[in-house]
Chains A and B, each alone.
Chain A
Amino acid sequence: MTPAEVEAGLREVFGDRILSSSAVEEGRDTAWPRRIDVAVDALEEVCRYLRDSQGFDRLLCVSGIDYEGYDESGKGKHIEISRYEEDGSPTPTKPGSGDLAVVYHLHSRAHGGEVAIAARVRRTEPKVPSVGQVWPTALWAERETYDMYGIEFEGHPDLRRILLPEDWEGFPLRKDYAMPSRYHDVPLEGAPLAVRTSPREVREEKE
């Protein structure tokens, strides 16, 4: 099994719902992992096909991408992230407009191949079908992706935050995220409490 064979199989079954791949974009024809962009509505079918017909029986990782700040060719990667002003308040950020994406890294124990399946969604409506029915381990990974990027996985049985508190505001790994300076009564920034003073501290040491 080579990367080209995997991609050829995908294109044969799904046609133009396979959008692009790293073999075309970067000229990486023989190397694993091959990144393949698919349409969002084909994501679950692609994953099921890769698991059942191509032997990709292992989901390594589910990650998110924020394309805010990328230019038309998809190459520009620099963006000014939110910083603090002199007085400690976060700088106001304008809402981002770039797309979001979700990436699934798959691995095959049968032939050792590795592919990355990416699906790009609009920032205004970040909804992706869950692949928890294909690999049950995706459920927690998708919760983490939701926690950090706010990408909603449709069909997920228990989609809530996994790392951050449930009442946390915003999605921290989005590039237009504004840094909080406190969480409820917990100050995240600021001056320390008054230094503890007691008679035993101010007492001079006898020489």
Chain B
Amino acid sequence: MAAETRGPRRNPEEAFNAVGDHIGGDREQLLSFGTDEDLASVVQPGSDLVILAQVQSLFRWAQLSSIWPMTFGLACCAIEMMSAAGTRYDLDRFGAGAMRATPRQSDLMIVSGTVTAKMATRVKRLYDQMPDPKWVIAMGSCAIGGGPYFKHGYHVVKGVDMMIPVDVYVPGCPPRPEVLLEGLMRLQDKIRGKKGRLVRPKWIDDYITRIPD
């Protein structure tokens, strides 16, 4: 428990989120943690302390909190992926820092780079070897749609989604580590059950209106 959470909480929802985001759909059925001490008492063994939740939601929460990606880099995007997993951006904050060197222990395949015709069969095979439930992030322009090779790349699969189903697309060439973190959080939303929403920031609208015809 972090030190700054000491003292009474004004918002019970905040304490609730500290246990796990949105355990269950109905918040009324859950315990309300008014203070930090209430929250801490949950972890003490006791017969009267029971959390009611949908077990499916609990599983989802466990899945989204420990997404283990596969160590799988194809091209220059892999450099950004390594950076995202490193100390500065620290993918492990989201529970996704345990890069597995085998598909059999992985939940997430980050297709980070150009998928060539030669590599595509290997990508498919690695995906098939991953146990369910499994997710795919297509990272970078090449994995999304062929990138700079989209027209005359004789050896490039124009989008890895022709080979395997993709959950989240992370654009960029290559995407910065922050963007990959954003993609990971959107994947967590997807596992949690939220529908994806894209809110266009105001500065983009302002920018578009200023573009001359």
Least distance between A197 CB and chain B CB atoms (Å): 10
Contact in complex: A165, B118 (CB < 8 Å): yes
Contact in complex: B161, A203 (CB < 8 Å): no
**Residues of the B chain whose Cβ atoms lie less than 8 Å from the Cβ of A195:** 165
Docked pose: A165 CA to B166 CA in angstroms: 26
Docked pose: A141 CA to B191 CA in angstroms: 49
Contact in complex: A172, B60 (CB < 8 Å): no
A-B CB contact pairs (8 Å), 13 listed:
A84-B151, A164-B118, A164-B155, A172-B155, A177-B154, A179-B154, A183-B117, A184-B121, A188-B117, A192-B159, A193-B162, A196-B165, A200-B191
List B residues 107-134 near A (Cβ within 8 Å): 117-118, 120-121
Using A81-B152, A164-B155 as known contacts, say yes or no to A192 and B162 having CB atoms under 8 A apart.
yes
**Residues of the A chain whose Cβ atoms lie less than 8 Å from the Cβ of B159:** 192
Least distance between B107 CB and chain A CB atoms (Å): 15
A155-180 interface bits toward B, Cβ cutoff 8 Å, 1 = contact, 0 = none: 00000000011000000100001011
Q: Give chain B's interface residue range (CB within 8 Å of chain A).
A: 20 to 34
Q: Give chain A's interface residue range (CB within 8 Å of chain B).
A: 20 to 34
Contact in complex: B154, A186 (CB < 8 Å): no
Contact in complex: A172, B154 (CB < 8 Å): yes
Asked if A95 lies at the interface with its beta carbon under 8 angstroms from chain B, I say: no
B189-207 interface bits toward A, Cβ cutoff 8 Å, 1 = contact, 0 = none: 0110111000000000000
Using A172-B154, A172-B155, A200-B60 as known contacts, say yes or no to A192 and B193 having CB atoms under 8 A apart.
no
**Residues of the B chain whose Cβ atoms lie less than 8 Å from the Cβ of A80:** none
Docked pose: A165 CA to B121 CA in angstroms: 12
Asked if A25 lies at the interface with its beta carbon under 8 angstroms from chain B, I say: no
Query: B interface vs A, CB < 8 Å?
Result: 25, 60, 117-118, 120-121, 151-152, 154-159, 161-167, 190-191, 193-195
7 closest A-B pairs by CB? A192-B161, A183-B117, A196-B165, A186-B120, A172-B154, A205-B194, A200-B193
Docked pose: A41 CA to B167 CA in angstroms: 58
Least distance between A207 CB and chain B CB atoms (Å): 11
Least distance between B64 CB and chain A CB atoms (Å): 11
**Residues of the A chain whose Cβ atoms lie less than 8 Å from the Cβ of B151:** 83-84
Docked pose: A25 CA to B32 CA in angstroms: 87
Docked pose: A111 CA to B195 CA in angstroms: 68
Asked if A190 lies at the interface with its beta carbon under 8 angstroms from chain B, I say: yes
**Residues of the B chain whose Cβ atoms lie less than 8 Å from the Cβ of A78:** none
**Residues of the B chain whose Cβ atoms lie less than 8 Å from the Cβ of A172:** 154-155
Docked pose: A93 CA to B126 CA in angstroms: 37
Contact in complex: A190, B195 (CB < 8 Å): no
Contact in complex: A201, B190 (CB < 8 Å): yes
Known pairs A188-B156, A191-B162. 15 more at Cβ < 8 A?
A84-B151, A165-B118, A179-B152, A179-B154, A183-B120, A187-B162, A192-B159, A193-B162, A193-B165, A196-B166, A196-B167, A200-B60, A203-B195, A205-B195, A206-B25
